[in-house]
Chain A
Amino acid sequence: MTAIMTAPVKLSTVETDYVAALESEAVHIIREVVAEFDRPVLLFSGGKDSAVLLHLALRAVYPAPLPFPLLHVDTGHNFPEVIAYRDRLVADLGLRLHVAAVQDWIDDGRLTERPDGTRNPLQTVPLLDTINEHHFDAIFGGGRRDEDRARAKERIVSLRDAFGGWDPRRQRPELWSLYNGRHTAGEHVRVFPLSNWTELDVWHYIARRGIPIPSIYYAHEREVFARDGMWLTAGEWGGPRHNERILTKSVRYRTVGDASCTGAVESTASTIDEVLAEVAASRITERGATRADDRLSEAAMEDRKREGYF
């Protein structure tokens, strides 16, 4: 457990104060949803944002146990460290976890593998099928408005139609801190308690609360190969190709997603302080640095959200 635990770090007064304000806002949002919805679920990828989201949810209901399950939409292209982290956390905290495995949908023909092998866009169908199967009515996600231009337009409590679709032109106005989650049968809401957080805020919060995160967020030696200007990890799902050379480098991950399209950055930051300093000095966004799927087009995220993506 020590490998993933970090000691809380002292932050400056300014940072402490606004991070505390963001925490209170997120806890308020989570409590509103717990009170008003019948069947919430928390999307948990094992990434840092979902780790923070889970920590906030536990705080929101403390000392009561978490009154809803977690859902992991599993592309099958996983970092073993992340799955180990997920399973340990679920066991330690006595949580309920649903896993929707993309592989199951491919195996029974509901989905077809894409020619490029990437599975990130394939997550939408298993997500929506699982929401329908369990009648989940509120889906907590760790999405942040600073991640993408389409996400910048997203509400904190955001209505989805029966197909999980997001219609940016039909969004409800969201006023004061009054969240209107009313929906009709078949509709559900996505809830984004971290809407107003930035990547740096997330790291400040992880440092301040000593939140455990997977070890791959810290610098480690890894066999990687270069593709599209990113360092991808070698794995059975698509790399390296014949002309791509494997190198051993000291790297860490800024985001954790589908391993086939999530790149590592060269880094020697092995403590939370060093990671904080690195993120604060970075001149490139985490998605730009590490997500191949978001480089597809100007509106890649908007298009995926319209189809029901997180």
Chain B
Amino acid sequence: MAALTSRPCEQVSSLLRLTTAGSVDDGKSTLVGRLLHDTQSILVDQLAAVDRATRARGGVSLDLALLTDGLRAEREQGITIDVAYRYFATPTRKFVLADCPGHVQYTRNTVTGASTAELAVVLVDARNGLVEQTRRHLAVMAFLRVPHVVLAVNKMDLVDFDEPTFRRIESEFTAVASSLGVPDVMSVPVSALHGDNVATRSRHTGWYQGPTLLEHLEAVPAGREAVAEPMRFPVQLVLRPRTPEHPDYRGLAGRVASGVLKVGDDIVALPSGGRSTVVGIDTPDGPMPRAAAGQSITVLLRDEIDAGRGEVLAHPEQPPRVVTELDADLCWLAEAPLRAGARVLVKHGTRTVQALVTELTGRLDLHTLRPTEAPTALELNEIGGAQIRLAQPLAVDSYATDRHTGNFLVIDATNGNTLAAGLVGPAA
């Protein structure tokens, strides 16, 4: 495990990307506001603006939700429409938080926030327990394989910080999560409004021995998964300066998607199949002996093989699959439903290819969380399976084994809109 103790791993672990999900009125915006407030991430002029806005709407105590609802329509309707990104930091970590709306029709935003998240906070109102939206959100987190899920049972103050209430919700949530295959779940009783167990330990929950929400966010392991996976380096562009100082320079610019790449490694470029050896890893600060997942670098090869944009460099003993048929799961994000026969574009890594959806193979019922028979169409916000034929080959991994190289977009070839989030299925 030497790879995990070296600098590249520490580099990603001091940044945690997380997302939030909850149904309407669970107090999600208040929780986010509380996290920002209690980490001193809200400055006095922002607080003054929230105070003015609270009073303008007839409120009395500071409405922290108004901090995060950024659009006019959101403030007017008192709902969150779009994903908002928030930043806060403690002495040990910087956090990038994708704050996602809870409405049913905005599941696509939850998908957006969850796609980059290493941790998801799912809110449940202590008075209501699990509702259908909770199950949906959990299903989306499981679908996108968010590695860590936190259940925040909110509004504990309104149930007199009653332990049996918390335990009942916790055990129901944990059961649903484990049936969906969520690997790591922890639960915390909170009152976002009053700050109990968010950043400071509550005086009212002596029966709770676990960490506060913020303590957990600071401690949860992050960034290790990507470094431990097989090496993948999608080539973004070829740098050929042709300047007097660098007449013959030919560098492959990209960002290591997963694993570790070292000088001296034998590599194969896929789909083209060319082989070579890494003779240098270049950065503007000078050469590096190795680079790990997340780092943007330039790779110098011994041979001039066909390895332009769209190729993936890998170690020959651990190559990705080169496919012209995708067995995939899709989360459909467009108003117009998907039907078999649709002609689309698939964008995977640094390659975009034409594609034909040949068959819809199933649908996930978000009420029962069970797969259904093959549907005739996949509607907005639905998750389902599809067979996709590709015009050119792609070098892919299963999403289940590599979250970073098993994902793709389905794009409308006519207007360029993003139609679906795609997950590469397991090898046949």
Q: A35-B350, A172-B418, A198-B87 are in contact. Are A298 and B75 (CB under 8 A)?
A: yes
CA–CA, A58 and B284, complex, Å: 9
B71 touches A153 (CB 8 A): yes
Q: A169-B81, A184-B416, A198-B87 are in contact. Are A175 and B253 (CB under 8 A)?
A: no
Query: Which residue from chain A places its CB closest to the CB of B235 in the assembled complex?
Result: A35
Q: A171-B82, A173-B111 are in contact. Are A14 and B71 (CB under 8 A)?
A: no
B239 touches A61 (CB 8 A): yes
A195 touches B112 (CB 8 A): no
B161 proximal to A (CB < 8 A): no
A180 touches B409 (CB 8 A): yes
Residues of A within 8 Å of B19, CB to CB, are none
CA–CA, A198 and B40, complex, Å: 14
B243 touches A284 (CB 8 A): no
A175 touches B421 (CB 8 A): yes
Residues of B within 8 Å of A150, CB to CB, are 70-71
Q: A17-B11, A28-B255, A176-B407 are in contact. Are A168 and B82 (CB under 8 A)?
A: yes
B70 touches A65 (CB 8 A): no
B84 proximal to A (CB < 8 A): yes
A24 touches B49 (CB 8 A): no
Query: Which residue from chain A places its CB closest to the CB of B96 in the assembled complex?
Result: A196
* Residue from B70, B239, B241, B417 having most chain A Cβ neighbours under 10 A: B70
Q: Among A34, A153, A176, A289, which residue has its beta carbon within 8 angstroms of that of B116? A: A176
B3 proximal to A (CB < 8 A): no
B294 proximal to A (CB < 8 A): yes
A174 touches B112 (CB 8 A): yes
Min C-beta distance of B55 to chain A, whole Å: 12
Residues of A within 8 Å of B253, CB to CB, are 31, 60-61
Min C-beta distance of A134 to chain B, whole Å: 21
CA–CA, A159 and B411, complex, Å: 14
B15 proximal to A (CB < 8 A): yes
A248 proximal to B (CB < 8 A): no
CA–CA, A177 and B182, complex, Å: 23
Q: A31-B237, A196-B85 are in contact. Are A288 and B46 (CB under 8 A)?
A: yes
* Residue from A21, A60, A169, A299 having most chain B Cβ neighbours under 10 A: A21
B175 proximal to A (CB < 8 A): no
Q: Which of A175-192 contact B (CB under 8 A)?
A: 175-178, 180, 182-184
Q: Among A13, A20, A153, which residue has its beta carbon within 8 angstroms of that of B84? A: A153
B60 proximal to A (CB < 8 A): no
Q: Which of B289-315 contact A (CB under 8 A)?
A: 294-296, 298, 309
A28 touches B296 (CB 8 A): yes
A145 proximal to B (CB < 8 A): yes
Chain A 113-137 against B: per-residue CB contact (8 Å), 1 yes, 0 no? 0000000000000000000000000
Chain B 365-408 against A: per-residue CB contact (8 Å), 1 yes, 0 no? 00000000000000000000000000000000000000010011
Min C-beta distance of A230 to chain B, whole Å: 12
A258 proximal to B (CB < 8 A): no
Q: Which of A53-68 contact B (CB under 8 A)?
A: 58-65
Chain B 67-84 against A: per-residue CB contact (8 Å), 1 yes, 0 no? 111111101000001111
CA–CA, A149 and B65, complex, Å: 12
A91 proximal to B (CB < 8 A): no
Chain A 147-166 against B: per-residue CB contact (8 Å), 1 yes, 0 no? 01111110000010000000
Query: Which residue from chain B places its CB closest to the CB of A56 in the assembled complex?
Result: B296
B115 touches A283 (CB 8 A): no
CA–CA, A151 and B89, complex, Å: 19
Min C-beta distance of A65 to chain B, whole Å: 7
B239 touches A64 (CB 8 A): yes
Q: Among B81, B243, B350, which residue has its beta carbon within 8 angstroms of that of A63? A: B243
A175 touches B115 (CB 8 A): yes
B109 touches A173 (CB 8 A): yes
Min C-beta distance of A16 to chain B, whole Å: 8
CA–CA, A252 and B321, complex, Å: 56
Query: Which residue from chain B places its CB closest to the CB of A12 in the assembled complex?
Result: B91
B320 proximal to A (CB < 8 A): no
Q: A14-B91, A169-B81, A283-B43 are in contact. Are A302 and B70 (CB under 8 A)?
A: yes
CA–CA, A198 and B240, complex, Å: 33
B340 proximal to A (CB < 8 A): no
A32 proximal to B (CB < 8 A): yes
Residues of B within 8 Å of A14, CB to CB, are 14, 91-94
Min C-beta distance of A152 to chain B, whole Å: 4
B239 touches A28 (CB 8 A): no
Query: Which residue from chain B places its CB closest to the CB of A289 in the assembled complex?
Result: B45
Query: Which residue from chain B places its CB closest to the CB of A150 in the assembled complex?
Result: B70
B243 touches A180 (CB 8 A): no
A153 touches B82 (CB 8 A): yes
Q: Among B14, B69, B237, which residue has its beta carbon within 8 angstroms of that of A35? A: B237
Q: A173-B109, A175-B409, A180-B409 are in contact. Are A17 and B15 (CB under 8 A)?
A: yes
Min C-beta distance of B214 to chain A, whole Å: 16
CA–CA, A153 and B53, complex, Å: 19
A251 proximal to B (CB < 8 A): no
CA–CA, A28 and B294, complex, Å: 9
CA–CA, A35 and B352, complex, Å: 12
CA–CA, A302 and B43, complex, Å: 20
B241 touches A65 (CB 8 A): yes
Q: Please report B residues at the A interface, Cβ cutoff 8 Å.
A: 7, 10-15, 43-46, 49, 53, 67-73, 75, 81-87, 89, 91-94, 96, 108-109, 111-112, 115-116, 236-237, 239-241, 243, 245-246, 249, 251, 253-255, 283-284, 294-296, 298, 309, 333, 345, 347, 350, 404, 407-409, 411, 415-418, 421
What are 27 of the A-B contact pairs (CB < 8 Å)?
A13-B10, A14-B91, A17-B7, A17-B13, A20-B295, A25-B296, A27-B296, A59-B283, A62-B283, A63-B243, A64-B239, A64-B240, A64-B243, A145-B87, A148-B70, A149-B84, A150-B70, A152-B70, A152-B84, A168-B71, A180-B411, A183-B416, A184-B415, A282-B43, A284-B44, A285-B43, A288-B45
Q: Please report A residues at the B interface, Cβ cutoff 8 Å.
A: 13-14, 17-18, 20-25, 27-28, 31-32, 34-35, 58-65, 145-146, 148-153, 159, 168-169, 171-178, 180, 182-184, 195-196, 198, 200-201, 282-285, 288-289, 298-299, 302
Given A35-B236, A61-B253, A178-B408: 19 more A-B contacts, CB < 8 Å: A13-B10, A20-B295, A27-B255, A62-B283, A62-B284, A151-B70, A152-B68, A152-B70, A153-B71, A159-B416, A168-B82, A169-B73, A174-B112, A175-B111, A184-B415, A196-B85, A198-B87, A284-B45, A285-B43
